[in-house]
Copies of this chain bind each other. A is one copy, B any other.
Amino acid sequence: MIAPEEFLEDTRDQGLKELEEFLRIPSISSQPDRADDVRRAAGHLADRYERIGLQNAEVIETAGHPVVYADWLKAPGKPTVLLYGHYDVQPVDPLELWTSPPFEPRREDGVLFGRGSSDDKGQIALHWQAIQAWLRTTGELPLNVKVIAEGEEEIGSPNFEEFVRTNRDRLKSDYCVISDTAMVAKGFPAITYALRGLLYFELRVEAANTDLHSGNLGGIAPNPAQALAAEILTSLKDPAGHILVPGFYDGVKPLSEEERQQFARVPFDESAIKQTYGLTALHGEAGFTPTERNWARPTLDVNGVWGGYQGPGAKTIIPAWAAAKFSCRLVPDQDPKAVAQALPRYIEEVRPKEVRVSLSKLSGHGDPWITPVDHPLIQAGQRALHRVYGKDPALIRGGGSIGAVEVMGRLLDAPCLLVGFVLPDSFAHAPNERLDLESFYLGRKAALHLWEEIAAIGAPAAARPASVQP
């Protein structure tokens, strides 16, 4: 009997063909006229899971696009891992910028072009192929696996929380593994162990019941746009980027020297960033590198502002009201509830008394997420990647939030490992999305080893230190 590694070597082309078949289904979740294709992709994936030897494969309905589920639970005494991916894809416009049709996969010079090739069908495929390698060669997996593939990730996972809540028992696992992120560079893998949480607010400042004539009432009437801009927003953050809301930084975990060193391994090309986005200079708190600020420091940003006259030419009014949207990215261990309470209290304090303010929270829980960098699950991931790439993966955080991670972290109380096998410049969400084939093949191998390494750390009762943050 051949070893799983050999099986993977022998089925390179077969694996790629299977992925290409999956890529041909235009499962664009945001477009209502693609709903049938999304469903077809779900059915296709459930079939695939059955064919490779997973059990209980099922297309589970939600209020939106379905979730695909399958499991293999025949390793008593071994840990159980929940593996997450998503089978929906982004729209393809502008279509004219594609060099070949987005849903007709094309190979060229070691690259596979096609929508979803990296985000996220390629990563789903490399996992099923690693699982298949185990089952075909040894007849078993080193641990228990529950696989889910979401169909609404690209539209913000509107039904995922309800899905997890409803299926909590079925999904219950010791660990989660999510492959929807990227490597640092070709041959340089990364493990993401923390993400920021998001609190999003809309603030409305009102002074009058109608726009006022700036001649007749200028010097008499309060100006809510002025109050919003020059008194409230000004009070939230100083020009250096430090947030002024009392208590805002409570609980922020300082970065360890080890974390800072890990971050510094990831190249940050300031001049490339500036050129790409047309920035004159970067901005942020002193004492931190840009990467540290983005990954491990909380932020507060105005996302939009509007009020009064915005058309061409001049209209001499004092606006009746003005509004802003602003949001905070929170880091471990900030408490989103405490921040959400501190903000309105502070705004009430700093607002000029001649305006009325209303603040609404537009986001959900907003919890930041972290699996401590020294957690055995992270170490298992490191070992698996080291075996394949011959170097330690970067241990990184993310500046954004991933809805599914936040939901699983909060509702399933299991530590998560975020590990991706695609290149950062794979044009996800853009024309000519691509998959580097060498990275794909290495990813299949790493996925293979991952189950072994996680099996080795055992169930969490033993593995989990007191400091774990679910």
Contacts and interface: CB of A to CB of B under 8 A. Distances in A.
Interface in A283-329: 283-285, 288, 290, 293-294, 297, 299, 301-310, 313-319, 322-325, 327, 329
A200 interface: yes
Nearest to A208: B277
A255 interface: no
A352 interface: yes
A236 B230 contact: yes
A297 B218 CA distance: 9
Contact of A229 (B218, B234, B329, B354): B234
Given A234-B234, A294-B216, A353-B281, A310 B301 contact: no
A17 interface: no
A323 to B, nearest CB: 8
Q: Which of A282, A303, A310, A317 has the most CB of B within 10 A?
A: A303
Given A212-B277, A239-B352, A302 B223 contact: yes
Given A210-B277, A215-B329, A302 B294 contact: no
Interface in A197-233: 198, 200, 207-210, 212-223, 225-226, 228-231, 233
Contacts of A278: 208-210
A355 interface: yes
Interface string A170-199: 000000000000000000000000001010
B234 A230 contact: yes
Given A239-B231, A279-B208, A279-B354, A285 B363 contact: no
A221 B317 contact: no
A43 interface: no
A352 B237 CA distance: 14
Interface residues of A, number: 81
Contacts of A230: 229-230, 233-234, 236-237, 239
A220 B314 contact: no
Contacts of A297: 219
A219 B284 contact: yes
B225 A329 contact: no
Given A208-B277, A212-B277, A302 B221 contact: no
Chain A to chain B: the 5 pairs with minimum beta-carbon distance, closest first:
A215-B400, A209-B278, A304-B308, A219-B293, A229-B229
5 contacts: A198-B316, A209-B277, A210-B278, A218-B329, A219-B288
Given A225-B324, A280-B355, 9 more contacts: A198-B215, A213-B400, A219-B399, A222-B280, A230-B237, A301-B318, A304-B310, A309-B325, A310-B325
